[in-house]
Amino acid sequence: MKKSTLLLTFAILFLIGCGSQTDRAASGITEQSLLNHIEILSSDEFEGRAPATRGEELTVEYLVNELESMGVAPGMNDGTFVQEFPLLGQRVDGAASSMSINRNGQNVEIFSFGSEFMGWPSNEEEQVALQNAELIYVGYGIQAPEFDWDDYKGVDVAGKVLVYKNSDPSHDPNIFDGESRLYYGRWSYKFEKAEEMGALGAILVHTTPTAGYGWSVVENSWGRERFSLPRTDDPAGRPAFNSWLTEEASEALFSHAGLDLHEMLDAAADRDFEPIVLEGVTMDITLSAHYSNMSGKNVIGKIEGNDPDLRDEYVIFSAHHDHLGIAPEPVNGDSIFNGAWDNASGTAAVLEIANALKQIEGDLRRSVLFMFVGAEEMGLLGSRYWSENPTVHPGKVSANINLDSMQIYGETRDLVLVGYGRNTITPIIREHAEREARTVVPDLQPEQGFFYRSDHFSYARVGIPAIFPNPGREYLDKPEGFNAIVDSVTAANYHALSDTINEYWDMAGMEADTRLIFRASLDVINANEMMEWYPGDEFEAIRLQMLEEVQ
């Protein structure tokens, strides 16, 4: 070896040796290491990674093998990596389903399944057949004592079909976080509230502004086989059906009661709103459904902490490994929903963070769980199952960092945090971003309610302080108008067969974001105190309850 080459080699080794273990671990998170995982997970071989399919089996095998190769321990209490959970599949036969409106006993309107209404049995029955069901409009249908808000005003709505306006009040910044959508504004809250109130059924009025998406999303999401966690309670206590109704069909429904739909939607914003009976109007609805029993899988790995006082506390990294599987009919010869961005990218990021943390495991005070959850696309079912059947008590979990659909279009000056300012994770991530001359900003579309639309919500609802990093918007070294390109490509690829690696991908952004999240997570893992929800947050009460249970 030449002397000059030898000196250069020693210089490089010296510089590497001067770098901290953390720096070396972070430097191992690279564009290529992330892309390698994405290429495999989003390949046609994995068949779209749908739950209870060969694609899921291949995905689980890949994740387990990767964790084992890193030396990450199994995270289940039985010494395995896999938490299996039951799934109940439901497919509604649209041809055998109908909804019609009666006025003073005479049929005046028939709505078509799919194009005008979507409905399904919510009591897990194969057949629903209701005639002359009475309807009551309950506005947003919210009961929120902390905001002195009650849309029911003591009215007995049991046994009636309740008609809801989607979303939550946004006209006053002092209630319901103004334009930010809370859980009160989610469709799932409305259906849960209908059950709590003893309703016969529930109808959500769809408008694009109140839903945040067009009718096609409703039709596509509820028109295919849907999945849920099987319930063990008495079906007799549940509503017979849940449904959506298009804006045009809703206008017709209200007009037959002598009411104007848009006047009624506006009236819901008044704190003094009271339920309105749709006088003289009743509904007939018939639904036919078929069911199948199957199971999904969560993959859980663990790195033990070292602090004798903190090692039985945990930080959870989560990413959903599933996607939409194989399309019923091919489009241009393609039938596989590859899900490269959603969410092979988040899965890859958690794998690389696990690998980096394993390299410095001796520096970790708390233990860390890596959860690759299934059936997210079906309604956060894998993470929800864990939250209802936790492998560690939620009161022993300091935080959840959820990674879903990472930055794949290049580096940005900013990083978006869904859940910004709600708990003590925010200032930690913000501090690390500032060290890199970056900024952390709140959710840019708070009205969309993204905090309730990925797996971190499952952890939050059992009290765990959770955060959801999202791609920034201030791109570096990109041409003018690049955001418009990103928006167009993202919209075209979301839940589409075209969600594959394409010419717009620039992995430098994902590398930078993943390294930032890794560095910030060390402060979360090693903090003297567990993370907390800020006072007044909607999850503060359940957090305090969980902490009390483990005292």
* Pair (241, 369) in one structural domain: no
Q: Give the pLDDT confidence of 438-449 residue by residue, as tens digits.
A: 999 999 988 888
User: Cβ atoms within 10 A of the Cβ of 9, count?
Assistant: 11
Quick one: pLDDT band at residue 235, thresholds 50, 70, 90? confident
The confidence score (pLDDT) of residue 239 equals: 97
Q: Give the pLDDT confidence of 254-267 residue by residue, as tens digits.
A: 999 999 999 999 99
Q: Are strands 106-111 and 98-103 parallel, antiparallel or unpaired?
A: antiparallel
Three-class SS of residue 451? helix
User: Could you give phi then psi for residue 510, rounded to 5 degrees?
Assistant: -65, -40
Q: Give the pLDDT confidence of 183-229 residue by residue, as tens digits.
A: 999 999 999 999 999 999 999 999 999 998 889 888 877 888 889 99
Cα separation, 542 vs 322, in Å, equals 29
The confidence score (pLDDT) of residue 178 equals: 87
* Pair (281, 364) in one structural domain: no
Alpha helices in 19-163 (DSSP H): 21-27, 31-41, 54-70
* Pair (61, 97) in one structural domain: no
Nearest to 376 by CA among 387, 368, 365: 387
**How large is the average pLDDT for residues 60-75?**
98
Q: Which of 290, 322, 337 is the last residue of a domain?
A: 290
Cα separation, 127 vs 240, in Å, equals 9
Q: Are strands 276-303 and 82-92 parallel, antiparallel or unpaired?
A: antiparallel
In a domain, 14, yes or no: no
* Pair (48, 111) in one structural domain: no
Q: Give the pLDDT confidence of 135-165 residue by residue, as tens digits.
A: 999 999 999 999 999 999 999 999 999 999 9
Quick one: pLDDT band at residue 121, thresholds 50, 70, 90? very high
* Pair (390, 507) in one structural domain: yes
Instruction: Print the domain residue range for 283.
Output: 92-290
User: Cβ atoms within 10 A of the Cβ of 477, count?
Assistant: 9
Cα separation, 359 vs 159, in Å, equals 59
Q: Give the pLDDT confidence of 285-311 residue by residue, as tens digits.
A: 999 999 999 999 999 999 999 999 999
Quick one: pLDDT band at residue 10, thresholds 50, 70, 90? very low
Cα separation, 411 vs 457, in Å, equals 27
Q: What is the tally of helices (H) and strands (E) in the chain?
A: 16, 21
Cα separation, 245 vs 261, in Å, equals 12
The confidence score (pLDDT) of residue 232 equals: 85
Q: Give the pLDDT confidence of 48-61 residue by residue, as tens digits.
A: 999 999 999 999 99
Reading the block at residue 207, the tokens are 């408008």
The confidence score (pLDDT) of residue 17 equals: 43
Q: Which of 290, 323, 356 is the last residue of a domain?
A: 290
Mean pLDDT of all residues belonging to the chain: 94
In a domain, 4, yes or no: no
The confidence score (pLDDT) of residue 321 equals: 98
The answer, yes or no, to whether residue 177 has pLDDT greater than 80, is yes
Q: Find the CATH number of the domain harbouring 525.
A: 3.40.630.10
DSSP assignment letter at 343? I
Q: Look at the alpha carbons of 98, 102, 107, 110 in this order and tell me if their dihedral is positive or negative.
A: negative
* Pair (309, 346) in one structural domain: yes
**How large is the average pLDDT for residues 30-45?**
98
Q: Which residues contact 144 (CB under 8 A, 6 or more apart)?
A: 150, 176, 184
Cα separation, 549 vs 396, in Å, equals 10
In a domain, 80, yes or no: no
In a domain, 296, yes or no: no
Q: Look at the alpha carbons of 263, 268, 269, 273 in this order and tell me if their dihedral is positive or negative.
A: positive
In a domain, 22, yes or no: no
Q: Look at the alpha carbons of 147, 137, 120, 195 in this order and tell me if their dihedral is positive or negative.
A: positive
Beta partners for residue 284, in sequence order: 100
In Å, what is the CA distance from 68 to each residue of 54, 271, 353, 363? 21, 56, 14, 20
CA angle 440, 446, 447 (to 5 degrees): 165
The confidence score (pLDDT) of residue 336 equals: 97
Of 221 and 21, more confident: 21
The confidence score (pLDDT) of residue 214 equals: 87
Beta partners for residue 533, in sequence order: 423
The answer, yes or no, to whether residue 373 has pLDDT greater than 60, is yes
Reading the block at residue 49, the tokens are 């990674």
* Pair (248, 396) in one structural domain: no
Q: Find the CATH number of the domain harbouring 163.
A: 3.50.30.30
**How large is the average pLDDT for residues 385-396?**
98
**How large is the average pLDDT for residues 49-75?**
97
Quick one: pLDDT band at residue 179, thresholds 50, 70, 90? confident
Q: Which of 290, 323, 349 is the last residue of a domain?
A: 290
The answer, yes or no, to whether residue 18 has pLDDT greater than 70, is no
The whole-model pTM stands at: 0.88
Nearest to 407 by CA among 519, 483, 520, 509: 509
* Pair (271, 418) in one structural domain: no
The letter for the amino acid at 204 is L
* Pair (329, 440) in one structural domain: yes
Q: Into how many domains does the chain fold?
A: 2
The confidence score (pLDDT) of residue 216 equals: 86
Residues 366, 373 contacting (CB under 8 angstroms): no
Buried b (16+ CB within 10 A) or exposed e, 337-366: bbbbbbbbbbbbbbbbbbbbbbbbbebbbb
DSSP assignment letter at 237? G
Residues 421, 442 contacting (CB under 8 angstroms): yes
Cis amide bond preceding 343, omega within 30:
yes
Cα separation, 543 vs 19, in Å, equals 39
In a domain, 215, yes or no: yes
Cα separation, 19 vs 360, in Å, equals 13
User: Cβ atoms within 10 A of the Cβ of 114, count?
Assistant: 17
* Pair (226, 266) in one structural domain: yes
The confidence score (pLDDT) of residue 13 equals: 42
